[in-house]
Amino acid sequence: MEATGDPTAETVELPDVERRIFDLAIQMAITKSFQPHNSQTRTKKMEITTLLQLVILGTRLGFSGAGHIAATRLKEILMDRRNALQESHIETAYTLGKGHPIRKVIVQSLGRAYFILKQGRASKKQVYRRGEADNARRNAFDGDKFIFQDQLDTIDDFNLELSIQAIDILHDRNEITSRSGKTRTITYTDPLSEESFSL
C-alpha cells in the first residue's frame, strides 16, 4: 500500500447481515433516524425483529445512540401491541449489555403482567377479574404460567430485572382510604404506559 495522503478505505464484510438491515444502520448513523422497508414492518413482530437486528448491527459497528433510537420505536410498538413480543426477541435483547435501553423497554412492557401474576400467586387468589388487568393477564399468561417463563428460567439478568420491576411497581403504588376509613383503593402504575391500574 502506498502512502498518498488520502484516507484509505477499509472493507468490512458482514455476511450474516441482510442488506436492508445494513441500509437501515447507515441511514441511522447519518440521520439519527430510520425508516424500515415495508417488508420489515408487515407485522409488529417483524418490526421488532428488524429493530433488534438493527441494534445488534449498530452495536457491532460502534454507532452511538442506536439503542436509544431503536428503544423509542420499540416502546411505541409495544404500547400498541404488547403481545407482539416473542421469546426470540427477549433472547436477542439479552445478548446486549446490562442497562441497554432495549432491555429496559422489554422489561417495562412485561412489568405489569408479571406483577399481576406475582400478586396472584402471593395472595393465593387465582381470580380472573374483568377490567384493566384482564388484558395484561390474557396477553402474558398461559393459564397460570407466565408465557416467558422459559426465558425467566434461563436468562438470569432477565429474571432479575423483571423481579426488580415488579418490586418497583409495588413500592410506587398509590393508596387512597375513604374518609370513613372503610374503603381503601390501591392503584399501581404501568411502567411502560404510565397508566394507572388496579387488581
> What span, in angstroms and rounded, lies between the C-alpha atoms of 61 and 17?
12
Residue 35 inside a domain? The answer is: yes
Residue 197 inside a domain? The answer is: no
Domain that holds residue 48: 19-172
| Cell (9 digits) for 56 | 445488534
Mapping DSSP to helix (H, G, I), strand (E, B) and coil, where does residue 33 land? coil
pTM: 0.77
Residue 138 inside a domain? The answer is: yes
> In this predicted structure, what is the pLDDT of residue 5?
52
Place of cell 441511522: 28
**Digit-coded pLDDT (tens) for 116-152:** 888 875 554 433 334 444 455 445 544 567 889 999 9
Residue 196 inside a domain? The answer is: no
Residue 91 inside a domain? The answer is: yes
**Digit-coded pLDDT (tens) for 170-195:** 999 988 887 777 778 889 999 999 99
> In this predicted structure, what is the pLDDT of residue 155?
96
Residue 8 inside a domain? The answer is: no
Residue 179 inside a domain? The answer is: no
| Cell (9 digits) for 97 | 449489555
The structural domain count of the chain equals 1
Place of cell 409495588: 170
